[in-house]
């Protein structure tokens, strides 16, 4: 069953990769822009993931009627009634002091590293402050593991490709943009197909990330393909998409 013909389907996008995806998955709900509650509930159902709430992400879980198995953070921004709701439904707690070096999400990644081959899917991570998003994306991308992973909500998403890897994306609705984000100094052997401006074996430099704002390939007299294939030969590459607001 674990092959590239068995996609991981997450609401508006399905992803295929050689070797498939780990059966064990983690859905970490952060305290950034809250996903639509119905979308979040469907994401949890579709991903069949173990749910963790990170700090005020517990409020998004409550809105979606999604009881987390684990609560993580210093809870400086988590509503007390939402925490009580989650604990009353059996959630375990890992509480940290407010004055600490690592962020709540970085601590979550430390806990994730204790698992074996579990695929992390992160939501509630977009919107709000740039420093939070930068820290979350860099920490997530550079965690020492090649396990497939993504950050996603109903408005945008980013899937991480590591050296010598590829993925195919099938969009149920047309994205407003598809961008390639080099997260290491260089990403070599990068290719993308199924878009208006395809690339083949190029090198992307983090200092000048120009491969942004691409679109699905348009075909005369047809809607155009909904599939996009991306290859990363070397480095860590973020495949980013967003939908119209």
- In three-state secondary structure terms, 27 is strand
CB 231 within 8 A of CB 189: yes
Task: Extract the tokens encoding 162.
Answer: 């590591």
Backbone angles phi, psi at 207, to 5 degrees: -70, -25
Residues of the chain with pLDDT under 70: 1-6, 219-225, 245
Q: Are strands 150-152 and 119-123 parallel, antiparallel or unpaired?
A: parallel
Note the helical H segments in the chain.
37-47, 57-63, 80-88, 104-112, 130-142
Q: State pTM to two decimals.
A: 0.91
Pairing of strands 25-29, 119-123: parallel
Total residues found in the chain within this entry: 245
Q: Cα(first)–Cα(last) distance of the chain, in Å?
A: 36
Q: Which domains does the chain have, with CATH numbers?
A: 1-154 (3.40.50.10240), 155-245 (3.40.50.10240)
- DSSP track, 117-183: SPEEEEES-SSS-HHHHHHHHHHHHHSS-----EEE-SSEEEEEE-SSEEEEEEESS--SEEEEEE-
Residue 180 has, within 13 A of its CA and on its CB side, a CA count of: 36
**CB contact at 8 A, 94 and 111:** yes
Cα angle at 141 between 140 and 145, to 5 degrees?
Answer: 90
- Helix/strand/coil for 57: helix
Residue pair 19/164 in contact by the 8 Å Cβ criterion: no
């Amino acid at each position: 069953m674990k092959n590239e013909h068995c996609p991981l389907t997450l609401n508006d996008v399905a992803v295929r990769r050689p070797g498939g995806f780990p059966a064990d998955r983690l859905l970490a709900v952060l305290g950034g822009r809250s996903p639509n509650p119905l979308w979040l509930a469907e994401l949890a159902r579709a991903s069949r993931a173990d749910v963790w709430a990170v700090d005020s992400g517990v409020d998004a879980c409550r809105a979606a009627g999604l009881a987390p198995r684990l609560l993580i953070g210093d809870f400086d921004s988590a509503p007390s009634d939402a925490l009580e709701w989650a604990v009353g439904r059996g959630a375990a707690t890992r509480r940290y002091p407010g004055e600490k070096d690592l962020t709540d999400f970085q601590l979550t990644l430390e806990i994730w590293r204790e698992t074996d081959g579990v695929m992390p899917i992160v939501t509630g991570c977009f919107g709000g402050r740039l420093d939070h998003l930068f820290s979350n994306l860099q920490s997530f991308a550079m965690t020492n593991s090649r396990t497939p992973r993504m950050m996603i909500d109903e408005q945008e998403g980013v899937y991480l490709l590591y050296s010598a890897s590829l993925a195919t994306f099938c969009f149920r609705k047309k994205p407003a943009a598809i961008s390639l984000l080099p997260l290491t100094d260089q990403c070599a052997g990068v290719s993308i197909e199924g878009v208006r401006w395809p690339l083949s074996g190029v090198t992307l430099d983090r200092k000048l990330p120009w491969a942004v704002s691409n679109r699905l390939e348009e075909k005369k007299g047809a809607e155009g393909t909904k599939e996009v294939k991306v290859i990363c030969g070397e480095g860590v590459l973020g495949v980013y998409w967003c939908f119209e607001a």
